[in-house]
Chain A
Amino acid sequence: MTKFLKRVYIFLIVFFMYAPIAVMVVQSFNRSKSRGHWGGFTTQWYLSMFGDRSIMAALRNTLSIAFLSSLIATVISVLACLAIVQMKRRTRRAVMGVTNIPMLNADIVTGISMMLLFLSFGLKFGYGSILIAHITFNIPYVILSIMPRLTALDKSYFEAALDLGASPVRAFFRVVLPELMPGVISGMLMAFTMSIDDFIITHFTKGAGVDTLSTKIYTEVRKGIKPEMYALSTLIFVVILILLLLLNGSRSKAGRKKAPGGRSILEIAPAAFLVAGLAVSACSLTACGSAGEEAGAEASESNVVYVYNWGEYIDPDVIELFEEETGIRVVYDEFETNEIMYPRVAAGASRYDLVCPSDYMIQKMIQNQLLQPLDWMLLPNASGYIGEKYMAQARSFDPGNRYSVPYCWGTVGILYNKTLVDPEDDMESWDILWNPRYKDDILMQDSVRDAFMVALIRNGADSNTTDPAELEAALSSLMEEKPLVQAYVIDEVRDKMIAGEAAIGVIYSGEALYTQEENPDLEYVIPREGTNLWIDGWVIPAGAEHVENAHRFLDFLCRPEIALMNFDYIYYSTPNEGAHALIEDEEVRNSPVLFPELSQYDNLQTFTYLGEAMDRYYNDLWIRLKSY
């Protein structure tokens, strides 16, 4: 009986440890992009992964940074250890204490302080800054792994080699280093994995156009993580698994008896690691070229444009077309939320020339004088093709359209599953979210402004209100609704609705069309009381250095055929009427989801920036709701 329980226990442990990985592996073969729905077996994600330039570049960067940083950190650490071990006990303890502190330090602190340091030294953010940061945070780990072996090593070990006629250098490489090797290798491997693992420090020290896998994956959260990433993660898992098995196998063999003349995998592994690493590094430094070019790019520095955009928010071919046509190199970088973008632009960590924030954030940046006015003379396509109704809507956050050109827009509405709701119920009103019949079948957006917008507009108030009475009223409405809500989520609205796990959800129009393709039972409506109309627009930061190039790129994006390419890629509503007219598929062109007749709604509100005090107030209300 106890034996049985033991087995169950072990099984549970293994299950909980590996279930997430198993799910990921399964998803990597799922034809459907939705996570909640099995669309059949496919290997297409593996194929498209290898064809995706940005994923491959991120992979190369990740591996080469991991390799170079672990190698350099190891060399530095070995030297450091040799010095530390010579110190007197007191000094040695003090030095070890100092080197250990960074390991206990929170990554975020390390990341921010590195960023500040690089800023104050005027170091260019990019491949080099990430590499330096990784070397730095890797060193303590390698030292920690080498030090015990070195202190355990008898001093006479080195002397014995000298005694037998070896020069000090030879004695070190022939005798001391081999003895430290297990510590050196495990330290280096640890550094390697730490480097691959790292997100936070990389995030703070990376520059425009350079991504590692972790930052790349993170920029994709807004549009949903691409299935190619599941495929890549699966491959990485399998490769590591095979390596581990080989390593363990060879180790147990080596323990028994060393075959004379034959070399164990354990001995070859470091060499193989070195060769492979050098190959990847060389390839990432030459083929992808971003780092190398940037280093020597000072001469052609005038011929670039630094673009900072949401993840998955442009067709990569558009960038290539622009570069071919104009000879201007686009250094492209991605962010995941307005709040992450803002401090980077404000701090000037990278001198972006063109950024794509959302409505309220544009207003905040205007107020804080972070933007420069656009020169509309240089934007004939923008003036010619961006619809006046969108320009008018944009004036709510950018009076006079001085600073921004709308890029994408959308609405927030109700997505419902026809088979799960009563046809008698009125789905075109926010009231449906308060209908007790749908208890535990409702999905709300997990974002403070969106959630309050729903309640405020239902109560007949303005979604940009700063009136505490109206906000308190909205809060009590949301509290009243909360028992009916299955979950407050973001991406999962899409997946859960496709999978039929909920009847009604609040969703962005851009996501709605895609969910309908996956599950025809879904229907999207804009409630008649009105809703939020959001706009992301291009702006030029005050500190931009390539203002003319920024205008050229922006106007290029406004060409109808280019805007159409982006529409096909992003699948969010475009404000470009020229592009709209070019959409071939009539169903899409006239889609009430993507291109609703705006004039039939008299209460479409766009978020404005309410000021810091109000932001805090909203957040307090949000916490009260969440903890209610």
Chain B
Amino acid sequence: MERKELIRLEHVSKAFDGQTVLDDLNLVIHENEFVTLLGPSGCGKTTTLRIIGGFEKPDSGRVILDGRDITSLAPNKRPLNTVFQKYALFTHMDVAENIAFGLKIAGRDKAFIEDKIHYALKLVNLEGLEHRSVSSLSGGQQQRVAIARAIVNEPRILLLDEPLGALDLKLRQDMQYELIRLKNELGITFIYVTHDQEEALTMSDAIVVMNQGYIQQIGSPEDIYNEPENAFVADFIGDSNIIDGTMIRDRLVRILGQEFPCVDTGFGTEQPVDIVIRPEDVELTAAGEADGGLTGEVTDVIFKGVHYEMCVMAGGFEWLVHSTRMFGEGTRVRIGVDPFNIQIMNKPASEDEEAVSENDQIR
């Protein structure tokens, strides 16, 4: 399927009170995508969303929608709608009035509005609640009203600012599936902001990992998880063992004094690198006192349901290991890793470079 570009941010920078929040940010989002801006608080993801929505004006750079520069367009003139973090439902109006708000402003006729309200409520599974006051609804219901209120306007893009943050875990998971279903039914682009990596991995077509005003990596959830491009991404997405290592030559790496075969090439010889190994990729086998290889001792065991989470002290590094096989505390174990599961990354020369490394890359 040919992917058509929908919105593009070009060299966008923004500072508040002299503090840089976004620095020369470039991003392209395509039609019918579910894109998640992911990062820790203060990374600039919400500011990016607000710039797209028109609530903030960038200090420099442009926002292009369908080839048209909308950088200075007022929010009420943009064909976008937002679902706000705290829903921002109008409490002096009932459910139907809230949903009808945008349509009334647009001057739609009564029958059309009625139809739309009915359709939207059906879409978010809130039929029959037209005349309830919004304050009498539960958090999840309020969230659905907020979504209904946004989508009845048939926006080109739906912006969602951590919309599930206030819901409890079970409800959050339900809503995640609802959102995916909605996106598929409506066929519009969703731009979703969250700091919850699990949420991002579950829902997104593409994830934009951000930190300190820079984009760290853009990719599918699988790419981001399996091939983190730097230590920050690796650390932020799921649990990781991030270890200093040395690339001996192509397909061979030294980790904590032990040589491991790997699949990466092109890092040169005897180059210091960062090694990322996911905890579930660490294979433990029982080991005797005298066994060679990378061996260590289990220092901590926690039962997590699906697996055991173990800490293993080996080669002077505390490894995090997920395994369905349990080794008791004090057991001596040998650590092995499949070559495919060793992720090798260049070491950044400095903090700054770490942040910028992937910034120029436009997908």
Contact = CB atoms under 8 A, between A and B. Distances in A.
Interface stretch (A51-59, A165-173, A583-591): A165-173
Contacts of B94: 258
Contacts of A167: 74, 76
Interface in A154-168: 154, 156-157, 159-168
Contacts, number: 66
A168 B74 CA distance: 10
B84 A166 contact: no
Contacts of B91: 179
Contacts of B74: 162, 167
Contact of B105 (A165, A179, A258): A165
A467 B131 CA distance: 87
Interface string B21-58: 00000000000000000000000000000000111000
B246 interface: no
B153 A164 contact: yes
Given A161-B101, A165-B102, A154 B81 contact: no
Contacts of B76: 162-168, 171
Contacts of B88: 154, 156-157, 159-160
Contact of B149 (A164, A171, A258): A164
Interface in A162-215: 162-168, 170-171, 174-175, 178-179, 181
Contact of B53 (A157, A163, A175, A260): A163
Interface SS of chain A: helix
B105 A156 contact: no
Contacts of A171: 76
A156 B86 contact: yes
B240 to A, nearest CB: 35
Interface in A119-168: 154, 156-157, 159-168
A154 B102 contact: no
Interface centre among B76, B131, B153 (most CB of A within 10 A): B76
Contacts of A162: 54-55, 74-76
Contacts of B53: 159, 163
B357 interface: no
Interface in B128-181: 131, 133, 149-150, 153
Contacts of A170: 105
A163 B90 contact: no
Interface string B5-24: 00000000000000000000
Interface residues of A, number: 22
A166 B54 CA distance: 13
B106 interface: yes
B220 interface: no
A178 B74 CA distance: 23
Contacts of B55: 159, 162
B346 interface: no
B85 interface: yes
Contacts of B75: 159, 162-163
Interface in B56-89: 74-76, 80-82, 84-86, 88-89
A584 B19 CA distance: 94
A323 to B, nearest CB: 54
A163 B151 CA distance: 12
B90 A179 contact: yes
A496 B54 CA distance: 77
Contact of A164 (B86, B92, B101, B133): B101
Given A181-B92, A258-B133, A164 B81 contact: yes
Given A156-B85, A179-B91, 15 more contacts: A154-B88, A156-B86, A160-B88, A162-B74, A163-B75, A163-B150, A164-B76, A164-B101, A164-B105, A164-B149, A164-B150, A164-B153, A166-B76, A167-B76, A168-B76
The 3 closest A-B pairs by CB, nearest first: A164-B102, A160-B88, A156-B84
20 contacts: A154-B86, A154-B88, A157-B88, A159-B82, A160-B82, A160-B89, A162-B55, A163-B75, A163-B82, A163-B150, A164-B105, A164-B150, A164-B153, A165-B105, A166-B101, A168-B76, A174-B101, A178-B90, A178-B92, A179-B91
